[in-house]
Structure 1
Amino acid sequence: MAVTIKDVAKKANVSISTVSRVLSDSPKISEKTKKHVRKVIEELGYHANLNARSLVQQTTKTIGVIMKHSASEAVHTTFIPEVLRGISYVCNKYEYSIRLSTGESEEDLFQDVLKMVNGKQVDGVLVLYSKKDDPVVDYLIQSQIPFVILGKPTKDVNKIAYVDNDNIHAAMDATQYLIKLGHKRIAFIGDDKKYEVTNARLAGFQQSLLANQLEICDEYIKNINYNYDEGVQVIHELMSLPVPPTAMVLTDDLNALIVLSALSKIGLKVPEDVSVICFNNSTISRVSNPRLTSVDIQIFQLGYEAAKTVIEQINEPNALKKSLIIPTKIVERDSCKKMIP
């Protein structure tokens, strides 16, 4: 016969409601009691009936996850798989499922959000990007469903919960790293300009140049949207300039990999001819040739904290909206070289 919640309550010498609160990790239950009840649950081999509990509590125990790319494109980035790993870790701990957006266009994604929320398919939503005039965020605010943005909101900052890095400061650090190596002609290659993270990192790059009395050259500022042909064209444009850059800051390590290939195609080596520093510090950074110096933005931790924050909102709907800034650090490898005077 299957073990029931009553069996757990009886052996733990607590009420059924206490066991239920332990299962939902309620902050109203002390850590001592949680530890005791969880030990009994493990000893008895109890498995919660999630469907029944959801019906009683009128919840879905599901988090909606909205990606800035379609599902088919997102898996090819270095960011999404790792951030989903962080989200999944937390959701597994709190017995939540994940519902991924599947739209192929921005309109499809918006309609997907409408289905999630209006159809009561999810208890909360994670938006894995931030951009200006986003109808998804506007709708989530109106619907009053718990949600968290991964990235700094472009408006209503004090009213929206978000988890992010200090991208301006991180880009300043990356640029300063190259300047300390003696580089004065530094290019910036971002990804999609409509997202806040790209613009924040560009701002940090420019601030670092100004702080070091270096000129901001518009010809040195480019964008690649994870496209090899775009990367080849960008590198051709940069390295064909009368005074080409000696170093580059890239906002994504997948784009950095494209740049490495494009530079090799025209006979230039990293770091002998051009130094490269990128963001993300994913597996790509560690196994590329040369291995990439990268800003570690702690992608797993971003996903972990975002999921934890939205679940806290679901469990405590009257709690204050909060923001978290995840620290970054530069991981030095082989793609940057000191300039010889």
Structure 2
Amino acid sequence: MAITIKDVAKKAGVSPATVSRVIADNPRISIKTKQKVREVMETMGYYPNFQARNLVANNTRTLGVIMENSAALAFQNPFFPEVLRGISTQAHDSKYGLYLSTGATQEEIYQEVVEMVQGRRVDGIILLYSKINDPVLEYLSQSSLPFAVVGRPYKNPKSVSHVNNDNIQTAKETVEYLIDLGHQHIAFVGGASDFVVSIDRMQGYKQALSEHQISFDANYTVNQDFIQGNEQDSIRRLMALEVPPTAIVTHDDMVAYEVIGYLEDLEIRVPEDVSIIGFNNHTISKHLKPPLSTVDISIYELGLHATELVVEKITDESTPPKQVVVPSRLIERGSCRRL
């Protein structure tokens, strides 16, 4: 037979109302009473019906997590499990559950967000990407639901709570690292052009070249929009230039793995013939041959701080939008060499 709140109250020598207030962590209940009631709950194996409590309180104790594409595709990229680890840690500490988006297309994801908001399925939302003219972000900005973005919102970033790296400066420093190694012909293999992180890293790439009096050459840039399905041919064309690059900066480590594979097919060695560096510092990167030089963008902290921002807004609606910059650091390994 299930233990009830009345059973706990009787055992603890308090009223059922007091037990309810202890469960809600009401500040009017003394620490001594809370400790006594919680010990009785644990001894008797009583677990509060949080679903019923949440219905009464008009909240769900749940956070929505929106990925940039379907969960099946997202989890192929190690970024998402790691950022979810940060989200889960903070959500657990704040006693929130998670509701992951499951839509397979942009339209399905948008509709899912609308249903989350209008159906009050979640108390807040964490958006794990930022792109140009994103209907999801525009909808959330017009709603009253607390939310935060992992990444820099393209429009009016100060009006939206978000957590980000300084991707312009980090990309600039990454290219300068290669320049310091003696490289002058540096290629950039970027992500999709409608994602803000891709735009910022390209800008940092251009800034580094400009400040070191190296002319920007569009032939040295490869964009995911144009190579979709033709990745190998794009790398082959890049390396067949009259003056091929001696170093390549890639959008993330996953792209670097692919590029290294294509270079092997072309019998081009890393780092003897071309140096390569990625972003995100995935666990497998240090186990490659050669180990991949990369930029650690503190993925776990991105998720952790984004969750903090949402929970803070849920707790206090008057909290103004906040922006948090998470540090990055270059990790030198064996995939880059000095000329």
CA contact (8 A) 2:5 2:19 kept: no
Secondary structure of the corresponding residue to residue 294 of structure 1: strand
- Partner residue in 2 for 1:196: 196
- Partner residue in 2 for 1:279: 279
Instruction: Trace 1:121-270 onto structure 2 (pairs within 5 A).
Output: 121-224=121-224, 229-270=229-270
Count residues with an aligned counterpart. 333
Q: 1:2 deviation in Å?
A: 3.9
Instruction: Flag the 1:131–1:16 CA change in 2: closer, same or farther, 3 A.
Output: same
Instruction: Trace 1:1-341 onto structure 2 (pairs within 5 A).
Output: 2=3, 4=5, 19-20=22-23, 22=25, 41=38, 44-45=41-42, 47-224=47-224, 229-339=229-339
CA contact (8 A) 1:19 1:37 kept: yes
Q: Which amino acid aligns with 1:250?
A: T
CA contact (8 A) 1:64 1:101 kept: yes
Secondary structure of the corresponding residue to residue 205 of structure 2: helix
Q: 1:272 deviation in Å?
A: 0.6
Q: 1:4 deviation in Å?
A: 4.7
Segments of structure 2 that go 5 or more residues without pairing to the other structure are none
CA contact (8 A) 1:130 1:150 kept: yes
Secondary structure of the corresponding residue to residue 189 of structure 1: strand
CA contact (8 A) 2:9 2:19 kept: no
Q: 1:17 deviation in Å?
A: 7.5
Aligned-partner Cα distance in 2 for 1:228–1:36: 63
Secondary structure of the corresponding residue to residue 230 of structure 2: helix
Aligned-partner Cα distance in 2 for 1:69–1:254: 16
Q: Which amino acid aligns with 2:57?
A: Q
CA contact (8 A) 1:253 1:284 kept: no
Q: 1:84 deviation in Å?
A: 1.1
Aligned-partner Cα distance in 2 for 1:153–1:266: 39
Q: Which amino acid aligns with 1:259?
A: V
RMSD: 2.9
Segments of structure 1 that go 5 or more residues without pairing to the other structure are none
CA contact (8 A) 1:74 1:80 kept: yes
Q: 1:57 deviation in Å?
A: 1.1
Aligned-partner Cα distance in 2 for 1:329–1:299: 12
Q: Which amino acid aligns with 1:272?
A: E
Q: 1:71 deviation in Å?
A: 1.5
Aligned-partner Cα distance in 1 for 2:223–2:35: 51
Instruction: Flag the 1:164–1:38 CA change in 2: closer, same or farther, 3 A.
Output: farther
Q: Greater shift after overlay, 319-328 or 89-98?
A: 89-98
Q: 1:38 deviation in Å?
A: 7.0
Q: Which amino acid aligns with 1:108?
A: E
Q: Which has the larger radius of gyration?
A: 2
Secondary structure of the corresponding residue to residue 330 of structure 2: strand
Instruction: Flag the 1:78–1:38 CA change in 2: closer, same or farther, 3 A.
Output: farther
- 1:35-77 per-residue CA deviation (whole Å, 9 max, x = no partner) reads 9957974685264431122112111111111111111211111
Aligned-partner Cα distance in 1 for 2:287–2:35: 41
Secondary structure of the corresponding residue to residue 153 of structure 1: coil
CA contact (8 A) 2:129 2:149 kept: yes
**Could you tell me the TM-score, scaled by structure 2's length?**
0.89
CA contact (8 A) 1:78 1:253 kept: no
Aligned-partner Cα distance in 1 for 2:180–2:34: 56
Aligned-partner Cα distance in 2 for 1:186–1:154: 27
Please list every run of at least 4 consecutive aligned residues from structure 1 whose deviation after the TM superposition is greater than 6 angstroms.
none
Secondary structure of the corresponding residue to residue 76 of structure 2: coil
Q: Which amino acid aligns with 2:268?
A: L
Instruction: Flag the 1:238–1:20 CA change in 2: closer, same or farther, 3 A.
Output: same
- 1:202-234 per-residue CA deviation (whole Å, 9 max, x = no partner) reads 101110111111111100111237x89533122
Instruction: Flag the 1:282–1:42 CA change in 2: closer, same or farther, 3 A.
Output: farther
Instruction: Flag the 1:38–1:162 CA change in 2: closer, same or farther, 3 A.
Output: farther
Instruction: Flag the 1:11–1:87 CA change in 2: closer, same or farther, 3 A.
Output: farther
Instruction: Flag the 1:44–1:211 CA change in 2: closer, same or farther, 3 A.
Output: same
